[in-house]
Chains A and B, each alone.
Chain A
Amino acid sequence: MTTEAQHDQPTSRTYFLVLVGLLILLALTVGAAFLKIPGHTWGMIIALTIAFAKALLIALYFMHVKFSHKQVAAFAAAGFVWLGILITLTASDYITRNHPASMNYKGEPRYLQSDYPGR
């Protein structure tokens, strides 16, 4: 962690640029929240993408993941990967919860086989 990683440590200037970048991203995400974007999904995607970009900047530079051993990066990623598992599989239930086989994905009733001509 110390010896060979030492020489490419970030300087105060790097830190300052990262801070400026973070503040610009903050302004962007606040601005995007006031745009009239149709559909809630897109607003959410934009907000979370910017949040991930900010988190990445913090982790890579402020928390030195970029300058540390690969092991550290793996440890840092593990928590987020597992959170991804939790959210994805929980969402797999919530997204499909209210359309049983009798409805299509729009919630319209699905018809009996005899209603389909040609089957």
Chain B
Amino acid sequence: MTTGTVPYIPAVEVEERETYLNVSGKIRSWLLTRDHKRIALLYLISITFFFFIGGAAATLMRLELMTPARDLVRPETYNRLFTIHGVVMVWFFLIPAVPTTIGNFVIPLMIGARDLAFPRLNLASWYLFVFGGCFTVAAIVLGGVDTGWTFYTPYSSVYSNTNVVLTIVGIFITGFSSIFTGINFIVTIHTMRAPGMYWRRLPLFCWSLYATSCILVLATPVLAMTVTLLAIERIFHVPIFDPNRGGDPLLFQHLFWFYSHPAVYVMIVPGFAVVSEVVACFSRKRVFGYWFVAGSSIAVAFISFLVWGHHLFVAGMSMYGGIVFSFLSFTVAVPSAIKVFNWTATMYNGSVSLKTPMLYALGFIGLFTMGGLTGVFLATLAVDVHLTDTYFIVAHFHYIMVGGMVTAFLAGIHFWFPKATGKMYPEWAGRIAAGLIFFGFNLTFFPQFILGYLGMPRRYAGYPEEFHLLNVMSSAGASILALGYVMPLVYLIWSIKYGKDAGPNPWKAMGMEWTVPSPPPKENFTKIPVVTQEAYAYHMMTPQGGDGPILPPAPPGERVEGGKPVDVEWSKQ
């Protein structure tokens, strides 16, 4: 390693090249694997399963809301439906979505490591996830829960007679799965970076997932203990939150939202991660303001811990507390806006190509902006009094979570699919699905802003006649959206077998994951690479691109001795 270049294995198709996929085909080798790439695929299968459970609940809800009358399901069933939808989508799809699948797969490749720091812990976290999922599925099968995904006390701890404890056990266990993933990512990014991969060269994907991991590690234990207290109150009938015996239900809400508000950012910051990579790649430009994008991820993660009180504005919290939290909530808009402006500035004067991942990324930027701006309405104390618990809230957070996160997740899946499988999907199908999802999404959720503004409350199975038209529009949009979500599932599975070979770098992208063959070998890198340049040196690539990133030799100021650059990172000393 004297030249200081990343070793690049040419894309010559050798028969029977050993990859992480074909190293062993036995079921046992998958279930006991410690390979981050295989664990990522295990996670992908599990969260897809949960996505369709949550989606089924949503479908039933939208069907019920086709008519004003409460005719399809009973109100009690409707309560269970929205609870299942919330619980499954939040904890079993959105939170693990990008970190445990794409993050797990890509982070070690991006930073030039052979695996995460704790491979066994990584596998254990998947088992915990599945184990927790079993409890939640059991709770659904045994009759469901009707408290809403927020489990507000004292209803959940004293009055509800559904499977609250079973669901809580599932969430508690899954919480530890998130914590272990978070620990793994933090330690990996701190200690496993390849020589020369300084923090200033770290891809923005890793910065965002680092911020996400910090949230997971610092917020999830609060949820774990809070739901444990809830379960203790429910099982042993001791007073903790019960107002009849001196408890305070608002304490539960404080503790719950100390977790759940940052968790909202766990559901969006990984979306930032994906979009930063995709936008830079398909604009053929370095990311505008690298440090601002990286810093705003960290800032969003930090500020997310200071704003939870805006969920309690009308719950009986102190007025002064409300004012403080309202002000703090506004500050989230600053780093979020930095991101949006920097992505658009990255595209400005770039040679933008509208490939499928880029279509999703563009959709993300628009929908996230809508969701974010309506969030500012809700952070405003006085306006929130009017909008709380209406469909405006529902539309707002679906713009962030579905319009933002699910879209970003699909962008990432389409972006790294060739890397993970070595195959390409049909581009036309990808574009159609991206279009359908964007159109269906807006048709579903935009009417809900109007419905909420007009005063339709959330969580009711029936509604007055005046709201009929907008609800029909929303349900019609939902069916298009559902079609848009099934399409990728079909053509991606089809492409695994019948897709064209992708080669190591179909997008001509920068980033170390594209320097290894697709699918990557089990040990990722035959020799740990030495990094000599910034993450997004698209301006240094030749116009034709070639097959892989063109990596210039090390700049003269940077001597390389014995495989490691001279100014070794401080964390590696």
Per the 8 Å Cβ criterion, residues 73-102 of A in contact with B are 78-79, 82, 85-86, 89-90, 92-98, 100-101
Measured between beta carbons, the chain B residues less than 8 angstroms from A78 are 214, 218
Tell me, in angstroms, the Cα distance from A85 to B218 when the chains sit together. 11
Count of CB-CB pairs between chains A and B under 8 Å: 47
Q: Mark interface residues in B312-323 (1 if CB within 8 Å of A CB, else 0).
A: 100001111100
Per the 8 Å Cβ criterion, residues 304-328 of B in contact with A are 305-306, 308-309, 312, 317-321, 324-325
A86-B309 in contact given A93-B254, A96-B319 (Cβ < 8 Å): no
Interface check A71, CB cutoff 8 A: yes
Q: Which of A69, A93, A97 contacts B309 (CB 8 A)?
A: A93
Q: Which of A4, A79, A85, A96 contacts B318 (CB 8 A)?
A: A96
Measured between beta carbons, the chain B residues less than 8 angstroms from A94 are 318
Measured between beta carbons, the chain B residues less than 8 angstroms from A85 are 305-306
Tell me, in angstroms, the Cα distance from A89 to B303 when the chains sit together. 13
Interface check B17, CB cutoff 8 A: no
Interface check B250, CB cutoff 8 A: yes
Q: Are B321 and A96 in contact (CB under 8 A)?
A: yes
Interface check B74, CB cutoff 8 A: no
Number of interface residues of A (CB under 8 A): 19
Number of interface residues of B (CB under 8 A): 23
Tell me, in angstroms, the Cα distance from A4 to B570 when the chains sit together. 13
Measured between beta carbons, the chain A residues less than 8 angstroms from B250 are 93
Q: Are B318 and A97 in contact (CB under 8 A)?
A: yes
Tell me, in angstroms, the Cα distance from A82 to B308 when the chains sit together. 14
Tell me, in angstroms, the Cα distance from A94 to B324 when the chains sit together. 13
Interface check B571, CB cutoff 8 A: yes
Q: Are B218 and A82 in contact (CB under 8 A)?
A: yes
Q: Are A86 and B321 in contact (CB under 8 A)?
A: no
Q: List 12 A-B contacts (CB under 8 A).
A: A4-B573, A71-B571, A78-B218, A85-B306, A89-B321, A90-B258, A92-B320, A93-B254, A93-B312, A93-B321, A97-B317, A97-B318
Known contacts A69-B571, A93-B254; 16 additional CB pairs below 8 A are: A4-B573, A71-B571, A79-B218, A85-B305, A89-B325, A90-B254, A92-B318, A92-B320, A93-B250, A93-B309, A93-B318, A93-B321, A96-B319, A96-B321, A98-B318, A101-B319
By Cβ-Cβ distance, the 7 closest A-B pairs, closest first, are A93-B321, A96-B320, A96-B318, A97-B318, A82-B218, A93-B318, A90-B254
